[in-house]
């Protein structure tokens, strides 16, 4: 890079978020040794061109690295702070003593617990206002809570619950404080900000399609995911994902606008709008970008492909959840049933970061800050990942069973939902736990970045 006070945004590595540890070309950070440059070389992390006019002579580079390590380079620290990728970097020398050991963080207990919040697994958590969140459960109920942990309301849908078939399976926020919920048997309700039913609809696949399904009858209409169509400026719409199909609905009148066949049998687990005519789609163990969705000429670009080598005890590596990294819009984190957490680069169409520490299916992944994500799994743990590191920075074990959902509720805390594996044999039901966030930012920001940031 040119010898300016801080690297230009376009050439600062958004993946490792670090200056390289040593002046070698392979360690990403875009402050490369001018003597190591080969003509036409590109950064291995994000494929940006690496040329001599973007690099420093070795003495200047060494000085730059030394200044960064001591947090004395104010310009670079300010740049990192603006990008929100290294909270507290400018003052890390002064707060080192206030940060806690990894063992302490791993043994951390939740700040607060709502015991028996639901009678069975929680399948969805959404934040509806800065002070209110909603939980939807396998016990068929939907409840609202304030962020102090007080129960506010149990919502009453107009459809008749059929118990086991009417699990609440998905929820999403909509415009103007409205939100939507979906069930295992195909019911979708749009709720107003007061928690009253605004409209309801029922998804019923065509009989011919139902006959071709290879799944239980009660799952053939299952609403696996609901996502607001953020980019539709003309109509208030949302997507649903079901076995084999994707649907687009009008949230004002409940009308089905479009539907697309996604697979011959697999389920659609996640949908994320990328622009008005482009969505990110997860079908079974496959992640794809669908372009030109409204032109009836869909172009599918694969990002994650299913590999039989990844099967674990006959468990396919289904992708159960995804979360955007908002300060790096090309990055999407994903939770997989093979126990892994993967970060996908949409632009480069590759997986630059892959973690595998969970010992059970991973159910949820969320962004906590621009470089910090959390995941939860069957193994009763929540793991926190600094995307600049090769391994997790914390493992939270104070959970009563499978941790099915995570939700960031403000800059101070996030929540999780867990439930005993064999609920019929347990005196406890589903709990909701509140976890502090500042401690993890501190633990993360003062951990020396590893070369390549886990790439």
Q: Is pLDDT larger for residue 293 or for residue 17?
A: 293
pLDDT, one tens digit per residue, over 344-363 is: 999 999 999 999 999 999 99
Residue 213 Cα distances to 19, 83, 220, 315, angstroms: 51, 47, 7, 20
pLDDT of residue 29: 42
CB-side neighbour CA atoms (13 Å) of 94: 5
Beta strands (DSSP E) in 398-444 are 402-408, 413-419, 430-436
pLDDT, one tens digit per residue, over 133-188 is: 999 999 999 999 999 999 999 999 999 888 888 999 999 999 999 999 999 999 99
Q: Which two tokens stand for residue 245?
A: 């199909």
Q: Is pLDDT larger for residue 388 or for residue 288?
A: 288
Q: Is pLDDT larger for residue 444 or for residue 400?
A: 400
pLDDT, one tens digit per residue, over 180-213 is: 999 999 999 999 999 999 999 999 887 656 566 6
> Going edge to edge, which strands form the sheet with 197-202?
168-173, 179-183, 187-191, 197-202
Contact, 331 vs 373, CB < 8 A? no
Beta strands (DSSP E) in 106-251 are 112-118, 122-129, 132-137, 142-146, 151-154, 168-173, 179-183, 187-191, 197-202, 225-228, 237-241, 245-250
Mean pLDDT of the chain: 79
pLDDT of residue 219: 82
| Mean pLDDT, residues 20-26 taken together | 37
Domain edges within the chain: 9-94, 103-454
> Going edge to edge, which strands form the sheet with 151-154?
122-129, 132-137, 142-146, 151-154
pLDDT of residue 23: 38
Q: Is pLDDT larger for residue 3 or for residue 193?
A: 193
pLDDT of residue 452: 29
pLDDT of residue 217: 78
Give the whole-angstrom CA distance, residue 131 versus residue 145: 8
Task: Identify which of 88, 96, 143, 92 has the alpha carbon closest to the alpha carbon of residue 116.
Answer: 143
Assess whether pLDDT exceeds 90 at residue 404.
yes
Task: Identify which of 239, 238, 245, 172 has the alpha carbon closest to the alpha carbon of residue 204.
Answer: 245
pLDDT of residue 322: 98
CB-side neighbour CA atoms (13 Å) of 39: 0
pLDDT of residue 212: 67
Q: Is pLDDT larger for residue 74 or for residue 366?
A: 366
pLDDT, one tens digit per residue, over 215-268 is: 777 788 999 999 999 998 889 999 999 999 999 999 999 999 999 999 988 999
Assess whether pLDDT exceeds 70 at residue 18.
no
Contact, 225 vs 247, CB < 8 A? no
Residue 211 Cα distances to 102, 207, 208, 224, 247, angstroms: 53, 6, 5, 19, 19
pLDDT of residue 163: 81
CATH topology of domain 103-454: Methylamine Dehydrogenase; Chain H (2.130.10)
pTM to 2 decimal places: 0.74
Assess whether pLDDT exceeds 70 at residue 290.
yes
Q: Which two tokens stand for residue 72?
A: 């004395």
Task: Identify which of 28, 34, 63, 32 has the alpha carbon closest to the alpha carbon of residue 46.
Answer: 28
């Amino acid at each position: 890079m040119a010898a300016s006070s801080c690297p230009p945004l376009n050439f600062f590595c958004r993946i490792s978020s670090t200056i390289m540890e040593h002046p070698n070309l392979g360690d990403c950070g875009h402050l490369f040794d001018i003597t190591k440059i080969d003509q036409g070389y590109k950064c291995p992390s994000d494929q940006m061109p690496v040329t001599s006019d973007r690099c420093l002579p070795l003495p200047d580079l060494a000085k730059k690295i030394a200044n960064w390590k001591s947090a004395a380079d104010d310009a670079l620290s300010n740049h990192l702070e603006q990008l929100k990728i290294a909270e507290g970097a400018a003052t890390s020398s002064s707060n080192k003593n206030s940060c806690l050991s990894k063992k302490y963080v791993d043994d951390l207990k939740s700040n607060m617990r709502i015991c028996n919040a639901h009678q069975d697994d929680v399948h969805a958590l959404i934040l509806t206002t800065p002070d209110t969140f909603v939980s939807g459960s396998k016990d068929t109920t939907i409840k609202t809570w304030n962020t102090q942990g007080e129960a506010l309301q149990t919502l009453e849908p107009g459809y008749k619950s059929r118990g086991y078939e009417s699990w609440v399976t998905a929820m999403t926020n909509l415009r103007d404080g409205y939100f939507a919920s979906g069930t295992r048997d195909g019911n979708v309700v749009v709720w107003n900000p007061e928690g009253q039913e605004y409209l309801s609809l029922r998804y019923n696949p065509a009989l011919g399609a139902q006959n071709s399904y290879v799944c239980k009858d009660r799952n053939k209409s299952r609403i696996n995911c609901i996502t607001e169509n953020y980019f539709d400026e003309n109509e208030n719409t949302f997507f649903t994902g079901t076995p084999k199909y994707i649907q687009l609905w009008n949230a004002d009148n409940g009308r089905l606008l479009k539907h697309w066949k996604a697979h011959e049998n697999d389920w659609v687990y996640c949908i994320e709008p990328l622009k008005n005519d482009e969505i990110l789609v997860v079908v079974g163990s496959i992640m794809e970008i669908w372009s030109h969705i409204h032109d009836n000429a869909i172009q599918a670009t694969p990002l994650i492909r299913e590999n039989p080598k990844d099967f674990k005890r006959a468990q396919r590596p289904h992708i159960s959840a995804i979360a955007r990294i908002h300060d790096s819009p090309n990055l999407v984190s994903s939770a997989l049933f093979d126990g892994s957490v993967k970060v996908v680069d949409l632009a480069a169409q590759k997986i630059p970061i892959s973690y595998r520490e969970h010992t059970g299916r991973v159910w949820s992944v969320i962004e906590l800050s621009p470089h910090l994500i959390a995941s939860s799994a069957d193994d009763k743990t929540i793991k926190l990942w600094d995307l600049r590191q090769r391994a997790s920075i914390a493992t939270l074990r104070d959970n009563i069973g499978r941790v099915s959902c995570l939700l960031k509720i403000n800059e101070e805390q996030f929540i999780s939902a867990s439930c005993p594996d064999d609920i019929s044999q347990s005196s406890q039901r589903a709990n909701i736990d509140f976890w502090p966030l500042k401690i993890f930012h501190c633990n993360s920001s003062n951990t020396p970045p590893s070369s390549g940031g886990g790439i």
